[in-house]
Structure 1
Amino acid sequence: MKITPLNIPDILIIEPKLFEDDRGVFFESFNLEAFRDATKLNVEFVQENHSISHKNVLRGLHYQMPPYAQGKLVRVIQGEVFDVAVDIRRSSPTFGQHVSQILSAQNKKQMWIPEGFAHGFFVTSIFAEVIYKATNYYDCKHEKSILWNDPDLNIKWNIFDKPILSLKDQNAHFFSELIL
């Protein structure tokens, strides 16, 4: 397993070791002991979510307030997404900054996003299946959304058509109205 920190060092890209031969490819998509050894994080995943979305769907930027804040390990099993994490930790030196990464079934990269970040993705392929493990349970009363195109965040989504958004994401708050 290869671990690469992004510009916000708490966000990690995890690449599995691939075993390829004339039959195809084998890899461990997740091993808790290896994850803990490689990242030095003692996390416990309690829920796994599976999202299937069409091209131009944008989901996010979502987060949950304490005590239901979630860390997420995000992986794409079909297609490709442009994945984004925004630091919403007020005491952090990178507060309000974001990182992005292309995650795809082809590159097999996973992104670790700890608690204290808003998360979203934009589907760049015909469709995409995204699976993510979460360190806390979903609770609708503690879920919040930040507007995906908030000018204060200045995220370069590389979107050429109008994205397809849920009603919740259309009505998301500006970053300046952050609720924690």
Structure 2
Amino acid sequence: MLFSKFLGLTKAKSLPPVFWSKMAIDQTRTIGGDFPDDPEDLLPTDGILSLDEYLEMHAAVGHRTRYEICYRLVHGGEMSPKELEEVISIDDSTLHYHLNKLVDVGLIEKRQHTERGQDGLYTYYRATVFGEVTLSEGIDELIRGEQEFEEMYDSSTTPESES
């Protein structure tokens, strides 16, 4: 169902075999290629996060504003709340609500420091390793997969006379 939105295939068309190999589950990421019955068993025995904490991270970036904040911080680096307000076009209170949610689940971190020649503390946010991985191996990877599929499908259906 997930891919039906962009496949747009007629019954006469078939998917190239390379599509299925690209979209297959990567079983090399599990021990021995087997999937455990209980998803909790995927976690390392000495892991620092619970399954619920991983799920909370993914749920947090499931909100468009929080995804965009993470995206900006992962791909653009450390930013102040003012910079985020400007690029996302969001009011201060809404931004801070979402920033706090992302800090709470560990996807971003808040840093405060002084600026040379300035008084007071300045606040900046940056993505954590968990934020970078959640984005790059999650939603960003799904988007790249769709783009690769479209390119693959477009090139496989081009009539030979156009090649």
- Which structure features the higher share of helix residues? 2
TM-score range, shorter chain: under 0.3
More strand by share: 1
TM-score with structure 2 setting the length:
0.22
| TM value normalised by structure 1 | 0.20
Q: With CA pairs under 8 Å and 6+ residues apart, which has the higher RCO, 1 or 2?
A: 1
Specify the structure having the higher radius of gyration (Cα).
2
